[in-house]
Amino acid sequence: MDRYAVIGHPIAHSKSPRIHAAFARQTGQALCYEAILAPLDGFSASVHAFRAAGGRGMNVTVPFKLEAFALADQHTPRARAAGAVNTLSFNSEGILGDNTDGAGLVRDLSVHLGCTLKGRRILLLGAGGAARGALLPLLDEQPAVLTIANRTPRKAQELASRFAGSAASTQLHACGFEALAGQQFDLVINATAASLADAAPALPGGLYAPGALAYDMMYGRDDTPFIAAARAEGAARTADGLGMLVEQAAESFALWRGLRPDSSAVLAELRRELGGP
């Protein structure tokens, strides 16, 4: 039976084993998927040990996505663009690194939430790894405007410069949070770590255009602080990142197994467990 795993520190909270087990049952694939807790100073050794024991691939979660990029012998274009890897595939030529986070985000937005991205005004909050992973897939959807805003404007500007060549039909801007005053967006995506600290980014009011969607990459049983603040500011729709989690897993599964599972049923099951509709 083919072996796969998710590796991180911590890892006990990960829903990836359940998600991939459900995908395997649905598609009739003979595989097992486990969670591996790697020592903070032992990521590379843990990956090589799993591969030597017959492992076929791994998902990588915090805090190892940058180390996974360095470990990979080859990278997909979206992994190179992100500068981080969340999916490893092992083959005779070495280790292939991919990044499925941004593809998972876009698929959740377009398929599950019915959000058209082409021609829209998008605000991406944050300039760290989560934002980097999302940028190329978002730009591929050809929004009219994509603004990167960060508490430290310089980091947003560096990120915009890095992706300027991929923004042929999109106005790509970068700024600090304060400079957003007076602007409106159709989609606001929180890629900051603020929700982990039980806080929301300090944003000016009036950012949400009529019908706008506020999307937090984090998820939980209750509204994240970002979603609660967006509701108070008049966002017409809100969504958390549970669908992104399931869709990035489906993208990894398709890379490994050559077929894409139906993610809708798996997402609905996880949503019910969290107490959602």
State how far the Cα of 12 lies from the Cα of 41, in Å rounded to an integer. Answer: 18
107 and 175 within one domain: yes
Range of the domain at 247: 2-99+243-273
Q: Clarify whether residues 233 and 206 are in a common domain.
A: yes
Residue range 30-39: mean pLDDT, rounded: 98
What amino acid positions are annotated as catalytic residues? 65
| 276, pLDDT greater than 90 | no
Same structural domain for residues 192 and 225? yes
**Residues 51 and 160 occupy one common structural domain:** no
Neighbouring-strand partners of residue 34: 5
Q: Are residues 118 and 90 in the same domain?
A: no
- Residue numbers in the known binding site for shikimate are 14-16, 61, 86, 101, 219, 248
For the cut 70, the answer to whether the pLDDT of residue 51 exceeds it is yes
130 and 70 together in one domain: no
Query: Whose CA is closest to 147, among 189, 203, 200, 100?
Result: 189
pTM: 0.94
The CATH code of the domain that includes 73 is 3.40.50.10860
Can you say which residues are annotated as belonging to the binding site for NADP(+)?
126-130, 150-155, 217, 241
Q: Is the pLDDT of residue 217 over 80?
A: yes
Chain segment 88-105, per-residue pLDDT in tens? 999 999 999 999 999 999
Q: Are residues 115 and 208 in the same domain?
A: yes
Q: What is the pLDDT of residue 269?
A: 93
Query: Count of CB atoms within 10 A of residue 218's CB?
Result: 21
pLDDT band at 277 (very low <50, low <70, confident <90, very high): low
| Selection from 145, 144, 238, 158 nearest residue 190 by Cα | 238
Q: pLDDT of 120-157, one tens digit each?
A: 999 999 998 889 999 999 999 999 999 999 999 999 99
Lowest mean pLDDT among 78-82, 87-91, 250-254: 78-82
Strand partners, 213: 187, 237
59/107 same-domain check: no
* Residue 126 and residue 189 in one domain: yes
Do 87 and 150 fall within a single domain?
no
Number of domains in the chain: 2
Say whether both 152 and 59 belong to one domain: no
74 shares a domain with 181: no
Our CA angle for 45, 49, 51, nearest 5°, is 120
- Which CATH number goes with the domain that contains 140? 3.40.50.720
